[in-house]
Amino acid sequence: MEFRWRYQDAQGREIAGPDVTFAEQTEAEEWFSAEWRDLLDAGVEQVTLLHSESEVYGPMSLHPAQ
């Protein structure tokens, strides 16, 4: 089973994003930590971490808390 990110717009609709998978949750989270600004610039508003097709957590906004 693998981990991947689901990319969503502000209304929670799934949108296209990088098609990358990870063997471990920590790998997915490290990748996201390095890439979230580029994802936001590309129009991704929120993400959900998936393990296979099960939600681990999310949706999580890419906008910093104010």
Structure confidence at residue 22 (pLDDT): 98
Looking at the DSSP assignment, which residues form a beta bridge with residue 37?
Answer: none
Peptide bond into 59 cis (omega under 30): yes
What is the rounded CA–CA span in Å between residue 29 and residue 22? 9
The domain locations on the chain are 3-61
Asked if pLDDT for residue 10 goes beyond 80, the answer is: yes
CA distances from 50 to 5, 22, 38, 47 (A): 6, 10, 20, 10
Asked if pLDDT for residue 66 goes beyond 70, the answer is: no
Q: What is the pLDDT of residues 22-43, one digit of tens each?
A: 999 999 999 999 999 999 999 9
What is the rounded CA–CA span in Å between residue 63 and residue 40? 8
Q: What percent of the chain has pLDDT over 90?
A: 91
Structure confidence at residue 27 (pLDDT): 98
